[in-house]
Structure 1
Amino acid sequence: MGDSTRPSSESIPPRDGYRRVLAQQEKAELERLSALEAIADPHTIALLERIEVGADWRCTELGAGAGSIARWLARRCPAGRLVATDLDTRFLVDLGANAEVRQHDMRTDDFPAGSFDLVHVRSVLEHLPERDEVLPRLAEWVAPGGWLVIEDAVSTSAASPDAQYRRVMGVVEDTLSRTVGTDLQWARTLPQALSALGFTDLMLAPATLVIGAGGPVDRFWRATLTQLAELRTRTGHHDAADLMALAARLDDPSFVELSYTIIAIAGRRA
């Protein structure tokens, strides 16, 4: 999705756009988050192991979602502590004795500078219109020698030769841009942005996903397409059937396409 689909100054998404669009139905949102965990956790854990998260580290998991990485970090750092945050903390249970759950808005709620040896955030900044202002805040929360790890998605659907897939994904991405503030190209800027903030030892770990091959990627997209189809119907649009037709193609063994690429980057604060 290019710059032309970013929210204009005349149509700024509401601050709670994500909750209003995707998170208002608890069962559907938990299914989406659980599928995202199954997709992304192996890549996330591999990167966290590369930076050798220590047993006594102070960590925060921002936008912790359904809590899988928060639980992993709590187990990894038995002599440290974990602060798991989200605007919606209903799924953050059973994290461990060394974990604290905090309702927290990273756009406005602060931590003292240098609070953490690890700040990790996944699939959150792409949905925040204020992402460019939030990133330096996150950087300040990292202690000297600590790590900032960010994971967000990049879309290449506009280049697909499959006309239906290209059209429907265009609707999905435009809807998220206008109603939430999502930018599915922003993650490409992260290497330069972290370098400009003084981070070194950058590790870039992209993972390209496939839709139509079954498994958690299809579960994620089936839940997402269903939620957005319901939103489009409620808001007076007439293309919900197109979204559900793509969801139905996930069961067609002749359909397979590239989904998003998850850009994961880690940087050490000097």
Structure 2
Amino acid sequence: MQTAPAQEIYGERLFSTRQDTERERLDLLAQTWDPATTAHLRTLPLAEARSILEIGPGAGSIADLLAESAPHAEVTALDRDTTLLRLRNPRVRPLQADITDAGLELGAFDLIHARCVLMHLRDHEAVLARLVSWLRPGGHLVLSDTAELGFPHSSNADYRATMQALSQVITTHLGSDQNHGLGHPARFRQHDLTDIRLTTALPTVTGDAPISLWWQLTLEQARPELIRTGLVDAPALDRALYHMAQPTTHELSIALLTCSGRKRQDQNQPTG
């Protein structure tokens, strides 16, 4: 009889900063998603911001971009583990803290941004409410999370099974939801945010594309857990990795959905 997998926190063991390939994996993730994130953020009045919160900054590329785009703002880059932060801009202040800590009080912000963070939090509803409460009236919340729009329809059985196994692993072990991004517009409306916009990015998994290399590192880090699901064995996983690395491969996997909304001017402002 199989025992249920122990629940853990994203980055605690799976995808930990202690993994030898985690810095490279984060860099590839930034190369994959930064263009879409940057394009969405630049539609907002960044130059007017005085205080910005970046949650889960990874290596810090978007935190630096926000500091460059908002010349009068202090940018706080918050993460549970800031080991891999490589900040260039002196106006970015690293802060090691846990966004799920109900006692965390950071004051008020003109812009709050988090990419691929809430999808990995079991208590994402409480965190979202906290983020909205930290917005100044007129401030913007920008959240990016994913949706599985590609691999369930792949004609390659090994790729399909491997991605299905990964989806099961991050759901059962980490409590993650790879389709969390689909619900952001409705959640923003529930919190009475206005001027809601949603943009999408769906890169192709092929050859040495950053998303292809990122998936390969991600799957290798999770290899033991993938095989334990019983959905894929080691030879099938190896075939899937080989398939992803080929320049003749053109697969889809996950889309990044970026949603922004503005707090109404007449809403109460948090202290701080």
Q: Residues of 2 paired with 1:253 and 1:220: CA distance?
A: 15
Q: Which runs of 5+ in 1 are unaligned?
A: 1-9
Please say if 1:125 is aligned against 2:85: no
Structure 1 residues 56 and 251 mapped into 2: Cα distance closer, same or farther (>3 Å)? closer
How far does the alpha carbon of each residue in 1:246-266 deviate from its partner, in whole angstroms, 9 at most, with x for none?
111123333211121100000
Change (3 A) 1:57 1:243: farther
- Report which stretch shifted further, 118-127 or 103-112: 103-112
Closer, same or farther in 2 for the Cα pair 1:240/1:103, shift >3 Å? farther
1:174 pairs with one of 153, 158, 168: 168
Deviations 1:168-205 (A, max 9, x none): 11001001111111101121111010011010001110
Give the direction of change, closer, same or farther, for the CA distance of 1:17–1:92 in structure 2 (3 Å limit).
closer
126-135 vs 157-166, which deviates more? 157-166
| Conservation of the 8 A alpha-carbon contact between 1:59 and 1:116 | yes
- State the match for 2:198 in structure 1: 204
Amino acid at match of 2:50: W
Distance 1:236 1:198 in 2: 41
Distance 1:38 1:202, change over 3 A: same
Deviation at 1:244, TM superposition (A): 2.8
What CA distance in whole angstroms lies between the structure 1 residues aligned with 2:237 and 2:171?
A: 16
Matched, 1:250 2:225: no
- What residue in structure 2 maps to residue 106 of structure 1? 99
Distance in 2 (alpha carbons) for counterparts of 1:93 and 1:261 = 26
- What is the rounded CA distance, in whole Å, between the counterparts of 2:229 and 2:191 in structure 1? 43
Partner of 1:154: 147
Against the structure 1 CA distance between its residues 254 and 112, is the aligned structure 2 distance closer, same or farther, given a 3 Å change threshold?
A: closer
Please provide the CA RMSD for this pair. 2.1
Closer/same/farther in 2, CA of residues 193 and 11 from structure 1, 3 Å limit = farther
The CA distance in 2 between the partners of 1:253 and 1:146, in whole Å, is 43
d(CA) in 1 for partners of 2:54 and 2:135? 12
Aligned equivalent of 1:39 = 32
Task: Name the amino acid aligned to 1:226.
Answer: E
Unmatched runs of 5 consecutive residues or more in structure 2: 265-272
- What is the match of residue 23 of structure 1? 16
**CA offsets 1:130-167 (integer angstroms, 9 cap, x no match):** 11221111111111100000001111322333322221
